[in-house]
């Protein structure tokens, strides 16, 4: 990479990482998986290593994450609360050992290895053996004083157990991880479900949110737990193993699995064994923490940036889950390659819902031995589309069906072919993809379905991420699908899904025009809508019937019948109309209220409410049944109800009856 390119990339990475770190550590919100964020950090780390001149003090590699939130008073940590560098492979671990050797070539290393809990760090300060302060990490230097909440955590002793030790040293600091057990987390979500509240994402976020609740009573009900992993105060410990022993004597829970390792091989063994145990533990762990056991050596090795040189976090590979392949469908990519995509029973992997997995090509399906209906292991490694890594053949029922590559392109129905020596099948129709892209642009455009905020740029993104192949796919998109795309924060994703939902209601004429059928322009679409009155009737129309329409020639007629008789298209077309509410044209109708939604409240002076609703529909508008963000206008008659207040609150425009009539 050229220096100038590296600079641009580094700047972009910093901005993006900072954005996600802020969401995660300050707001306790998550838009991309940790695996994805980790790999961004990894790339930045490596680039900065290569071009050290671009390392700045504000780089995410140079600081501990998060700013303290303003709700709690601040606590300055007596010693900075550090972070750990991550290792994702054995090479990373060996690289770390090399760096240790460079600093201290003669030192004899043994290691202490323990699980890395996926909760949040907490610092506890005891004065004369009594709990004085509990503080979050915050930005590492200054955290939040959450003592009132910490007091509710049963596993935090309010008084240290060993009187001898606490008499010896007046101020003792203990650090560790606050977490929610999996059992408690599931219980909370079950209760929320019953109460009709949305489920929480994961235990870590829930624990973080809970610890920063302003009402300690709510915190107490949640049953947070604490496990200690460090004793920054010198109580005579010479190794980290002794430190754990002391923590136990002081009355803290420590990692029951932790071990001392004489050789690095033992560290790898522990890593593997812990990984296997992972699902049996009642708390989430995301790796192990390995550190130089000797306290003196640990200190001598010092701090690099935000992390102690003597410790490293070995992370488990990306999270996996199992699901069922309900179907395998073909997506046509930008270059014409046909990619089989597994449609999965939705499953939560690493905090996001996964419904599709790429299968790459037929050879990959063969290699996996995958059939439709199989139970599979899905792995998400920070990618938009996750992978299927294994088929669980033992779970077969006998009803599984083998997959066959179709002989024709599912979009344009032209033959597909595979060139000698190539794994990929291609659509042979040169026009197919360009057409498809253009059709999407047309389909969502102002004169088409008029999907607010959805233009060519986003269509490209959705197509490139293989999220959409036919227009029907647009209406199956979920917030989770679009969140990983560049530029999609929570709100943007919500807005897009909302716009799509709004666009579902479409007058017949605009729908026909949106299809982009050759020779069918805006006026023809209007004429067709008027003549046939419904999609079904138009689908069944013969060329002769179509030609009876004034001004409509044989070219349009044959183009239309060809369009509707195409077998490959039929499937997605039916899927598409099932997603939409296509409005029949009304006699004497206008398009004056096109795309706008209305709701009436109170007694109208000049007509009944039903008449008013019909008027809206006749003129292309939509009638909603409740005030929501989706509503464009609330029309008020005499003695309107509580809807007005709600509409004002949501910023919905309020009209008088006269103003409404003025729109027509
Ligand atoms: S030792 C130098 N040990 O991982 C920092 N940390 O990035 C001292 N964590 O926020 C960390 N389990 O809260 C250590 N057994 C463990 C841990 C652990 C989880 C967290 C810690 C910190 C993060 C380090």
Q: What is the pLDDT of residues 442-468, one digit of tens each?
A: 899 988 999 999 998 999 999 889 899
Q: Which fold has domain 74-315?
A: D-amino Acid Aminotransferase; Chain A, domain 1 (3.30.470)
Radius of gyration of the chain (CA): 31
- Give the tens place of pLDDT for each residue, 421-435: 777 888 878 667 756
Overall average pLDDT of the 341-353 stretch: 81
427 labelled ligand-binding: yes
Q: How far apart are the first and last CA of the chain?
A: 61
Atom 6 (ligand 1): residue with closest C-alpha? Answer: 116
Nearest atom in ligand 1 to 121's CA: 13
**pLDDT at position 158 over 50:** yes
What is the enclosing helix (H) or strand (E) of 277?
Answer: helix 264-277
Residue 382 pLDDT? 40
Distance 232 CA to ligand 1 centre (A): 13
Decide: 65 and 45 in contact? Cβ < 8 Å: no
- Give the tens place of pLDDT for each residue, 293-328: 999 999 999 998 889 999 999 988 767 778 899 999
Site residues for ligand 1, CB cut-off 6 Å: 82-84, 114, 116-117, 121, 177, 229-230, 255, 289, 308, 311, 313
Residue 483 pLDDT? 93
pTM of this structure = 0.48
Overall average pLDDT of the 514-531 stretch: 82
Confidence of residue 58 (pLDDT cuts 50, 70, 90): low
Interior angle at CA 420, CA 414 and CA 424, nearest 5:
55
Domain 3-62: what homologous superfamily? Answer: Helix hairpin bin (1.10.287.610)
**pLDDT at position 583 over 50:** yes
Nearest atom in ligand 1 to 116's CA: 12
User: 586 or 559: whose pLDDT is higher?
Assistant: 559
Find, among 290, 253, 129, the residue nearest to 179 by Cα: 253
Q: Which fold has domain 318-429?
A: OB fold (Dihydrolipoamide Acetyltransferase, E2P) (2.40.50)
**pLDDT at position 602 over 60:** yes
Ranges of each domain in the chain = 3-62, 74-315, 318-429, 597-662
The pLDDT > 90 percentage for the chain reads: 41
Find, among 270, 176, 178, the residue nearest to 225 by Cα: 178
Confidence of residue 89 (pLDDT cuts 50, 70, 90): confident
Distance 37 CA to ligand 1 centre (A): 18
- Give the tens place of pLDDT for each residue, 468-498: 988 999 999 999 999 999 989 899 999 999 9
Find, among 415, 439, 437, the residue nearest to 428 by Cα: 415
Atom 15 (ligand 1): residue with closest C-alpha? Answer: 116
Tell me which residue has tokens 């050229």: 2
Decide: 118 and 308 in contact? Cβ < 8 Å: no
Catalytic residue numbers read 116
**pLDDT at position 28 over 60:** no
41 labelled ligand-binding: no
Decide: 207 and 137 in contact? Cβ < 8 Å: no
Overall average pLDDT of the 107-127 stretch: 94
84 labelled ligand-binding: yes
Atom 9 (ligand 1): residue with closest C-alpha? Answer: 116
Residue 336 pLDDT? 66
**pLDDT at position 225 over 80:** yes
**pLDDT at position 512 over 90:** yes
Candidates 3.40.50.150, 3.90.1150.10, 3.40.50.10190, 3.40.630.10; CATH matching 597-662: 3.40.50.10190
Residue 64 pLDDT? 35
The pLDDT > 70 percentage for the chain reads: 92
Distance 123 CA to ligand 1 centre (A): 11
**pLDDT at position 19 over 90:** no
CA atoms of 260 and 138, how far apart (whole Å): 30
Strand ranges for 468-609 from DSSP E:
505-507, 581-583, 597-601
Q: Mean pLDDT highest for which of 58-62, 617-621, 652-656?
A: 652-656
């Amino acid at each position: 990479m050229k220096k100038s390119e590296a600079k641009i990339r580094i700047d972009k990475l910093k901005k993006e990482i900072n954005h996600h770190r802020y969401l995660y550590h300050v707001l306790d919100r998550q838009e991309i998986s940790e695996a994805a964020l980790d790999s961004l950090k990894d790339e930045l780390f490596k680039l900065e290593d290569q071009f050290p001149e671009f390392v700045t003090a504000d780089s995410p590699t140079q600081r501990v994450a998060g700013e303290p939130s303003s709700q709690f008073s601040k606590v300055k940590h007596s010693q900075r609360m550090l972070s750990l560098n991550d290792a994702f492979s054995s090479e990373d671990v060996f690289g770390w050992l090399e760096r240790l050797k460079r600093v201290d070539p003669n030192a004899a290393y043994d290691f202490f290895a323990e699980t890395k809990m996926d909760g949040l760090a907490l610092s506890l300060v005891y004065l004369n053996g009594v709990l004085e302060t509990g503080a979050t990490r915050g930005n590492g230097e200054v955290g939040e004083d959450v003592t009132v909440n910490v007091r509710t955590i049963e596993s935090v002793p309010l008084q240290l157990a060993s009187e001898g030790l606490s008499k010896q040293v007046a101020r003792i600091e203990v650090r560790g991880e606050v977490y929610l057990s999996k059992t408690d987390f599931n219980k909370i979500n079950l209760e929320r479900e019953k109460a009709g509240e949305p489920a929480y994402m994961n235990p870590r976020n829930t624990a973080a949110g809970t610890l920063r609740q302003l009402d300690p009573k709510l915190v107490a009900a949640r049953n947070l737990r604490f496990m200690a992993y460090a004793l920054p105060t010198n109580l005579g410990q010479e190794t980290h193993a002794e430190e754990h022993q002391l923590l136990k004597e002081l009355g803290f829970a420590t990692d029951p699995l932790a071990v001392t390792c004489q050789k690095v091989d033992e560290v790898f063994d522990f890593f593997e064994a812990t990984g296997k145990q992972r699902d049996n533990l009642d708390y989430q762990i995301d790796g192990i923490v390995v550190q130089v056991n000797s306290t003196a050596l640990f200190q001598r090795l010092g701090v690099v940036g935000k992390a102690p040189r003597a410790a490293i976090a070995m992370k488990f590979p990306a999270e996996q889950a199992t699901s069922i392949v309900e179907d395998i469908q073909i997506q046509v990519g930008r270059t014409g390659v046909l990619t089989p995509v597994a449609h999965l029973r939705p499953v939560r992997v690493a905090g996001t819902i996964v419904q599709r997995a790429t299968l790459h090509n037929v050879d990959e399906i063969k290699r996996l031995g995958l059939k439709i209906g199989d139970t599979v292991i899905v792995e998400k490694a920070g990618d938009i589309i996750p992978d299927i890594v294994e088929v669980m053949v033992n779970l077969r029922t006998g009803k599984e069906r083998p997959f066959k590559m179709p002989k024709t392109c599912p979009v344009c129905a032209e033959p597909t072919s595979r060139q000698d020596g190539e794994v990929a099948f291609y659509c042979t129709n040169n026009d197919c993809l360009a057409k498809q892209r253009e059709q999407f642009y047309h389909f969502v455009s102002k004169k088409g379905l008029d999907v607010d905020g959805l233009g060519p740029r986003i269509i490209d993104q959705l197509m490139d991420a293989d999220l959409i192949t036919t227009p029907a796919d647009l209406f199956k998109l979920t917030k989770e699908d679009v969140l990983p795309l560049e530029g999609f924060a929570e709100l943007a994703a919500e807005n897009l899904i909302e716009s799509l939902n709004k666009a579902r209601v479409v007058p017949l004429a605009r729908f026909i025009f949106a299809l982009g059928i050759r020779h069918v322009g805006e006026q023809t679409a209007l004429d067709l809508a008027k003549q046939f009155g419904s999609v079904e009737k138009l689908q069944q129309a013969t060329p002769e019937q179509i030609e009876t329409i004034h001004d409509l020639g044989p070219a349009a007629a044959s183009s239309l019948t060809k369009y509707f008789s195409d077998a490959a298209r039929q499937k997605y077309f039916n899927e598409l109309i099932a997603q939409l509410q296509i409005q029949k044209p009304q006699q004497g109708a206008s398009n004056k209220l096109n795309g706008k939604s209305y709701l009436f409240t109170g007694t109208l002076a000049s007509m009944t409410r039903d008449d008013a609703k019909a008027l809206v529909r006749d003129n292309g508008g939509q009638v909603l049944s409740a005030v929501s963000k989706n509503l464009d206008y609330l029309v008020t008659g005499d003695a309107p109800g509580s809807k007005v207040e709600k509409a004002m609150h949501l910023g919905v425009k309020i009209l008088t009856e006269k103003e409404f009539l003025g729109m027509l």
